[in-house]
Amino acid sequence: MKIKVKIQTARMAAAAICILLGMSGCSLFSEEGVSGTISQNVITATATVKALDLATREVTLQSADGSTVQLHAGDQVRNLAQVKVGDTVRVTYYQSLAYDVTKAGEGSPGVTAAEQLARARPGEKPAGAVGRIITITATITAIDTSAGTVTLKGPEGNSVTVKARDPKKLERVAVGDLVNITYTEAFAIAVDTPASK
């Protein structure tokens, strides 16, 4: 079974992450409109089940380069008995940072977080996924079009000035607008039986 976790990736603003982390030199406003994706990464790895001990729940995996790793499949791993030597284990990690600028009054500064968990149904091959979304909202307190910068005030009152990647987009925002960012990460794992040759 292939688990697909539907994680809403809201369009948010990268500058709010700068505020939260106290980073300097962050850039924003890189996409069409005053919203978009700052970064997005997907990493996928596969390994083959080389050994399995159902009594101890120990699984030995071998990667494409021949290296092996032994893992303990905890009780939360449902349907371990469905796994066979030769099956393929596929792991995917997804991460993104996206932004959106909204008009004053369409929200308020703050931080929200949500998590989502999914796993295989009884009788299916083991699979699972977990996702996390953190949204931070800051307020634009100043815009300097000649310098191409915008100053943001975070939900805890801290401020940071960031340089826009595309200064023309500063013409579409105003003091008092809200800059939101969403940081999304998801981890999924699935076991597949290789197709017969």
Note the pLDDT tens digit of each residue in 98-144: 888 899 888 889 999 998 888 888 888 888 888 999 989 999 999 99
pLDDT, residue 14, reads 37
Report the C-alpha gap between 173 and 143 in whole angstroms: 9
The pLDDT, as a whole number, for residue 197 is 57
- Other CB atoms closer than 10 Å to residue 98's CB: what's the count? 23
Instruction: Write down the pLDDT at residue 59.
Output: 93
Give the number of residues written for the chain: 197
CA distances from 130 to 2, 22, 56, 74 (A): 13, 27, 25, 16
Residue 134 structure tokens: 């953190």
CA distance 187 to 123: 22
Q: Assess whether pLDDT exceeds 90 at residue 28.
A: no
Return the structure tokens found at 151: 């100053």
The per-residue DSSP string of 35-78 comes to EEEEEEEEEEEEEEEEEEETTTTEEEEEETTS-EEEEE--TTST
C-alpha distance from residue 143 to each of 97, 155, 161, 162, 176 (Å) = 23, 18, 9, 10, 10
What tens digit of pLDDT does each residue of 34-87 get? 776 778 888 989 999 999 999 999 999 999 999 999 989 888 888 898 999 999
Burial label for 163, CB within 10 Å (0-12, 13-18, 19+), is middle
Amino acid at the residue 66? G
CB 99 within 8 A of CB 51: no
pLDDT at 35: 75
Q: What is the mean pLDDT of the chain?
A: 80
Asked if the model's pLDDT at residue 31 lies above 60, the reply is no
- Per-residue pLDDT tens over the stretch 153-193: 999 899 989 888 778 888 889 999 998 988 999 988 889 88
Q: Per-residue pLDDT averaged across 14-39, rounded?
A: 49
For residue 37, the model assigns a pLDDT of 75
Q: Look up residue 157 and give its two tokens.
A: 């009152």
Q: Name the nearest CA neighbour of 26 among 36, 13, 37.
A: 13
Q: How confident is the model at residue 149 (pLDDT cuts 50, 70, 90)?
A: very high
- The band of 4, judged by pLDDT with boundaries at 50, 70 and 90, is very low
